[in-house]
Amino acid sequence: MNPIAANLTAIKSRIAAACAQAGRRADEVTLLPVSKTRTVAEILRARSFGLSRFGENRAQEALAKAQELAQTDIEWVIIGHLQTNKAKIAAQIASEYQALDSLELAASLDRRLQAAGKQLDVLIQVNSSAEPQKFGLAPEAVLGFAAALAPFDALRVRGLMTIAVNSPEREQVAQCFQLMRRLQADLRDHAVPGQSYDELSMGMSGDFELAIAHGATQVRIGEAIFGPRGESGDEDQGDVLAAEAE
């Protein structure tokens, strides 16, 4: 069997087992395969195994792939930080943007989307581990941020996204996920009209089972499906490094 197919089968059964363990239905959790650094051939291979929605963390790379695969039904989800000058790309190709953490970017996305007569599902990224190098809002800023997004009606707020601390200490990782669930409840208590907060995008290859135990509705999985990525492109820095290289 192709390694992607075998990995996919294994991941799906691990997701189902984690859901069962948490008393959740398997269809409450969506798998978002993360195809950053992968070739178009690998993506097409994954498409042939039924995956049609892929996560990319850099706008430029996503654009190139979207253009090359324009004749397919593949949908693109951007999961990395975007500089404001890349808003145009996200507005053009993405069906969902999961790393919203600035009003400047929100305004820029909204303007591009309005011009194109489109809307975009967005998740607010939270820095749940308080690591200084990570993107995302401080937890205490999330409620105010959601309220401030209200005027941008091309942006459909759907929930929250986070990258938990990368640590062998399960308890520390779990704390990140617990914080997210509390924030989701806070948002529901202070709901902004037109927004919903049902999506919790959290959990990656190393921690998705724990994320599912804590309410994840989307798990973003790269290496456990496609194999190891190697050195380049393996950071969660979104567009920053790409931009520095330009």
Ligand X SMILES: *Cc1c(COP(=O)(O)O)cnc(C)c1O
Residues that bind ligand X (CB under 6 A): 34, 36, 57, 79-80, 163, 204-206, 220-224, 236
- The residue (of 42 and 236) whose beta carbon lies closer to ligand X is 236
CB 56, min distance to ligand X, A: 9
CB of 175 to ligand X, least distance (A): 19
The residue (of 146 and 163) whose beta carbon lies closer to ligand X is: 163
Closest residue to ligand X using C-beta atoms? 222
CB of 194 to ligand X, least distance (A): 26
Nearer to ligand X, 79 or 126 (CB): 79
Cβ-based nearer residue to ligand X, 12 or 188: 12
Q: How far apart (Å, rounded) are the C-alpha atoms in residues 185 and 131? A: 23
User: What is the smallest separation between the CB atom of 228 and ligand X, expressed in angstroms?
Assistant: 9
Phi–psi pair at 194, nearest 5 degrees: 90, -15
How many whole angstroms separate alpha carbon 51 and alpha carbon 4? 11
Nearest distance in Å: CB 158, ligand X = 16
Nearer to ligand X, 152 or 226 (CB): 226
